[in-house]
A and B are shown apart, each in its own frame.
Chain A
Amino acid sequence: MTTFDPTGTESVPVTSAPAPHDSYRVGTGTRATRVLGLFTIVSMGWLVVFGLGFSPADRDQDEAVRILYVHVPTIWLAYLAFVVTAIASALYLFPKAHSLGWDRLAGASAEIGVAFVAVTLVVGALWGRLTWGVFWQWDARLTLTALLFVSYIGYLAVRRLGGTHEQRARRSAVLGLLIVLEIPLLHFSVKLWRSLHQGSTLTDPSGDVKMDGLMLFSLFVGVIAFTLLYVWLVLHRTRAMAMEDLLDDRQLDSALEARRAEARIDAAPESAPEPAPEVGTEDR
């Protein structure tokens, strides 16, 4: 059953949706998210100040090291986002309740995760160009990141296949868990592949850069800032999805009304042409 509970007693594991009296200005913001948003902006500000200002340039990489304060947090958050997707998929699928809130969390987190991976790849390519001289390198970590990106794009494509909310949720949850199966396999095969490959003539990829003092602190600030950003985005996106689902339900209600009205008008059979798809030409 796809009834939406506006008071938020559906088991979404984060703060509830806007209270009914907010309906004159319906949005996904609440006091909690505004406070969170404020903290996010402040910590982003700190990141800019420390990342671009206080922290020193690196011995080897010069100013390019500053990119890492963005690049490293985004990939960590992407991993976090995908872990959340996996857990939420399981929490939808296995309990009998099949609560759609978990499905929405899984979907929102995956979307944001994909966005973060995209940022990681682009920013990382820039960093690579500055430090190694190339945009890309076929080492284990980069290859895996690219594969992760493509896998979750597939997940998002499946989420958009349509159908009822339960159908979408079930398909996506199963696929989400399959991707969890794929990741270790990808990880080991790529690792084994690159450890045997002698061809790399470039220096250690990112993350093995030695950092201390202010640099480490800036990185830390970056992680905090992006984590806050992630949570803020997930909250909003999940609520937006809940509203989209609610909209679907409302549209179904009005479609039902229209269809039932047809029956009342249809005292004699076959009056107006129905807007229905031809019976018998259903797919599959």
Chain B
Amino acid sequence: MVSFRDVVAVLGTFPALAGVTLDVEAGEIVLLQGPNGAGKTTLLRTCAGLLPVVRGTARILEFDLAADRDVVRRHVGLLGHQNGLYVDLTVRDNVRFWGATAGASHDEIVAAMVRLDVHDRLVDVPVRKLSAGQRRRTALACLVARRARLWLLDEPHAGLDAASRDELDRILRQAAASGATVIVASHELERATSLATRVVEVVAGQVRET
């Protein structure tokens, strides 16, 4: 699914990824760990096709990132540091919009909202009035409604309570079981055992298996 060979990606002039070699198979749940500034976020964004590959070769699914960056994006779901929500719109509006642009049906969208527990009291609340954890759940509902083949999540557990974290893990395991690939960047060591099939360390722009 994901095949990187000596990939270099830059932020301005800084080589955030300094030669990443990584292979991930379908159905895996890979946990990225590493200190701040190591390049976890950049790696996820590069997998999402947001950043160009300056050196090396990168294949996501059957696409070459150098040539087909924009095509790759359709099959990928990214939950970055920001939530990608429209703060003036309600939860319902947001999830509907993101689901509709991904071609999800009304039922799938509702199911996603129910799953993330944003369907009851919160559904008609404008996002700007929600707490950080509630926004995260809304963003996750948008991601779930899309049913991507490659899930990329950057610190998804941050701000969620224990019940939501467990639900998130269940969602990710289900996605992997149905053939999707999941890559999660997280500082939380306990999740390594409970969720991931594999842990990978990102240090100074490169990747080390642990």
Interface residues of A (CB under 8 A from B): 1-2, 162-164, 166-167, 248, 251-252, 255-256, 259-260, 262-263, 266, 269-270, 274-280, 282
Contact = CB atoms under 8 A, between A and B. Distances in A.
B37 interface: yes
Interface string B5-40: 000101111111011000000000000001111111
22 contacts: A164-B54, A166-B52, A255-B14, A259-B204, A260-B18, A260-B204, A262-B203, A263-B18, A263-B208, A266-B204, A269-B35, A269-B203, A270-B35, A274-B38, A274-B204, A276-B37, A277-B12, A278-B36, A279-B37, A279-B42, A282-B11, A282-B42
Contacts, number: 78
Contacts of B45: 282
Chain B interface, DSSP helix/strand/loop, else mixed? mixed
Contacts of B154: 280
A162 B10 CA distance: 11
Nearest to B80: A280
A248 B35 contact: no
B205 A263 contact: yes
A256 B206 CA distance: 10
Interface of B: 8, 10-16, 18-19, 34-42, 45, 52, 54-55, 81, 154, 203-206, 208
Contact of B206 (A166, A248, A263): A263
A1 B55 contact: yes
Contact of B18 (A167, A256, A279): A256
B82 to A, nearest CB: 9
A279 B38 contact: yes
A266 to B, nearest CB: 5
A1 B205 CA distance: 19
A164 B204 contact: no
A266 B34 CA distance: 11
A48 to B, nearest CB: 45
Among the interface residues A255, A262, A277, A279, which one has the most CB atoms of the partner chain B within 10 A?
A: A279
Contact of B41 (A164, A262, A266, A280): A280
A9 B206 CA distance: 33
A280 to B, nearest CB: 4
Given A255-B15, A279-B41, A280-B81, A266 B203 contact: yes
B69 to A, nearest CB: 11
Contacts of A282: 11, 41-42, 45
